[in-house]
Structure 1
Amino acid sequence: MLEQVFKKCLVSNSNTLTQLMRILVHFIACFQSRKKITALIYHRVSLEPAKFDDFSLPVEIFDWQMRLVSKLFNVITMDQALDFLEGGAIPSRSVVITFDDGYMDNYTVALPVLKKYGLCATIYVAGDAIISGKIWNEEVTHAVSNTAKLALHLPKIGIETLLVDSLTQKVEAIATLKALFKKQNTDVRDSFLHELVLESGSPVSERYMMTEGQLQEIAAEPLISIGCHSMSHPMLSYVSKDVARVDIQNSLDYLQELIEQPVVHFAYPYGKYGEDFHAEHVNCVADLPIKTAVTTEWGTIRANSSFYLLKRFTPWNLNILHFFIQLCKNYYR
């Protein structure tokens, strides 16, 4: 009931009601929103609810979230966030919208919603994913969710048997395989994926990621900026500093040549500092012509934040009222 009342308030065209709700934001956030920025992380925005994909948000929910953000918060670009870090002022209730990886539905589904509300966003793109049309985690999900087998036998990757006879077992198997695969270097990860696809009998036949043409089109949108998310999406903790540097540099070169624009913003693959990447990788990024780098650590961007360790917030909650409260509370972090 309360959620429905909240939705009706958002739909209302009353400027007075909108202003009252903005005051409510200030009250909940205890005026912390005047000196901090919340950066939202998204991956996929789907037309239908996904059974196996934790990173996919149904478009109806995304639409409501963007409506809320457009009415009650001030969406700024990552370049404006950089200006703030360099000593500039920001509006209160500032929000940055970001997407990771470069999924096709960012172009086909999310972009129309962003344009509907006049909202800007940064999309961090993994170069190899654009070239191949695939990204390894989606291949894992596809292989397990579509297999006709009751169990998968994968001794070459160190797993004798994975039961996949039910939805629950498939979800657990996908989580197990993703946890294993992401901690391998790119060559080993690709060999593991090859074994999985052979055993499952379910190779990916569709394209999950934007085409180069779609990326060029979305990069030309005034509301969209493109950032780098590495070339091969490795967990940097499992590659050397030199390998990381080459991978990121190759991605920068590829993206800048493709979209004919400077690419100065970066998102660490997986994104947990001290686990997925370390200080040596931060230094590597800082040595390149990159001006900001974002993590997946929850928190806010504030005036004293490191340019290369910017925190973000993942809006998992599908209840719009809970999302609103979480968004307000994030300014405490």
Structure 2
Amino acid sequence: MNLIRPLLAVASPSGSSARLSVLIFHRVLPVPDPVFPGEFDAVRFDQMLTWLRSAFNVLPLDEAIARARTGSLPARAAAITFDDGYADNCEIALPLLKKHGVSATFFVATDFIDGGRMWNDSVIAAIRNCPSPVLDLSELGLGQWAVATNSEKRQTIAGLLGKLKYLPHTERLATVEALAAISGSELPDDLMMTGAQVRELRSNGMVIGAHTCSHPILSSLDVEHARTEINEGKRCLESLLGEPVSLFAYPNGKPGKDYRAEHVEIVREAGFDAAVSTAWGVLDKAVDFFQIPRFTPWDRTEMRFGYRMLRNLFGAPAERV
């Protein structure tokens, strides 16, 4: 990283020309997952934090945004975010963040607090725990899928998530419920944080942001339904924490596909200070503060990690709507 650090300083200077790199994560598992070996586990996340701290000035996202607005960001500025509200964010990620002395922002979908489960996790659990070598979903119009090995399960999960992701919200939930019943699998009810864990994150200096109630793809909803999801998610978290919630993350987050300009305006009207997407890029003076880009550096070596961060800093501007 020492070889890349001078280049990072050029690509990410301080002051009015600063560029803020915002990283996005979802889970930090206690041990590697044989079905998803690419997911972050505790050892790998710990190593990534070591690399990040050695080359970047890591700030809480709300502070970084405020400093970006006033042109007072330090060189090599970065912020860490997590989406959705998984329990391992508190159980595994929090101790590691504290070990390295950094803060992160956690965007929480409120319907899943205290025992809820996201639709994609229902699919993953149904496939992971399926007792048969082949899952026959013909009655749902989804065909037959091999699930005997970890590789087959991984391919099946990816295929099914791709087919289901952009179905209308209610149709998707009904299909996933039927899929889980056909699989004969037991589904977990402890994947997401409890209200106490959300408060624990906040009491340890972490930032809590809103992520709607049920994590819908906003572009699939009518405008009033989208407005309710955005406003109620904010209200629920503010009630839980007893303080304002000022940051928002668009579910799925692809500009123009998962959310549109009208959703950006709803977020502004709801009283948020800023919002984040999942388009690659950095926050600089040209970026809309209600469409801040984020990305995930998945690399497994320090040099590749540094190169990925550098490439994102020098990369093409993030998409906007």
TM-score by length of 1: 0.88
The root-mean-square deviation of aligned C-alpha atoms, in Å, is: 1.8
> CA separation in 2, counterparts of 1:200 and 1:72?
47
* Secondary structure, counterpart of 1:184 in structure 2: coil
- State percent identity of aligned pairs: 34
1:70 shift after superposition: 1.9
Contact 1:43 1:56 in 2 (8 A): no
Contact 1:43 1:55 in 2 (8 A): no
CA deviation vs aligned residue, 1:205-261 (integer Å, no higher than 9, x gap): 341111111111112222x00001111011112111111110111111111101112
> CA separation in 2, counterparts of 1:53 and 1:283?
37
In the alignment, which residue of structure 1 is the partner of 2:318? none
* Secondary structure, counterpart of 1:210 in structure 2: coil
Moved over 4 A (4+): none
1:65 shift after superposition: 1.2
Contact 1:230 1:269 in 2 (8 A): yes
Q: Which of 245, 248, 270 is 1:263 aligned to?
A: 245
> CA separation in 1, counterparts of 2:186 and 2:174?
14
Contact 1:156 1:195 in 2 (8 A): no
In the alignment, which residue of structure 2 is the partner of 1:25? 5
1:308 shift after superposition: 1.0
1:312 shift after superposition: 0.8
In the alignment, which residue of structure 2 is the partner of 1:228? 210
Q: Which of 279, 286, 297 is 2:268 aligned to?
A: 286
1:148 shift after superposition: 1.1
In the alignment, which residue of structure 2 is the partner of 1:11? none
1:27 shift after superposition: 2.4
Q: Which amino acid aligns with 1:77?
A: P
Contact 2:8 2:76 in 1 (8 A): no
Say yes or no: does 1:82 pair with 2:65: yes
Say yes or no: does 1:248 pair with 2:249: no
1:69 shift after superposition: 1.8
1:143 shift after superposition: 0.5
Q: Which amino acid aligns with 2:10?
A: C
Contact 1:33 1:93 in 2 (8 A): yes
> CA separation in 2, counterparts of 1:180 and 1:281?
24
Q: Which runs of 5+ in 2 are unaligned?
A: 316-321
In the alignment, which residue of structure 1 is the partner of 2:284? 302
Contact 2:7 2:310 in 1 (8 A): no
1:91 shift after superposition: 0.3
* Secondary structure, counterpart of 1:293 in structure 2: strand
1:91–1:56: structure 2 CA closer, same or farther, 3 Å change rule?
Answer: same
TM-score by length of 2: 0.91
In the alignment, which residue of structure 2 is the partner of 1:199? 182
In the alignment, which residue of structure 1 is the partner of 2:305? 323
Matched residue pairs, number? 312
In the alignment, which residue of structure 1 is the partner of 2:93? 110
In the alignment, which residue of structure 2 is the partner of 1:314? 296
Q: Which amino acid aligns with 1:30?
A: V
1:194–1:215: structure 2 CA closer, same or farther, 3 Å change rule?
Answer: same
> CA separation in 2, counterparts of 1:302 and 1:157?
46
Could you say which structure has the higher strand fraction?
1
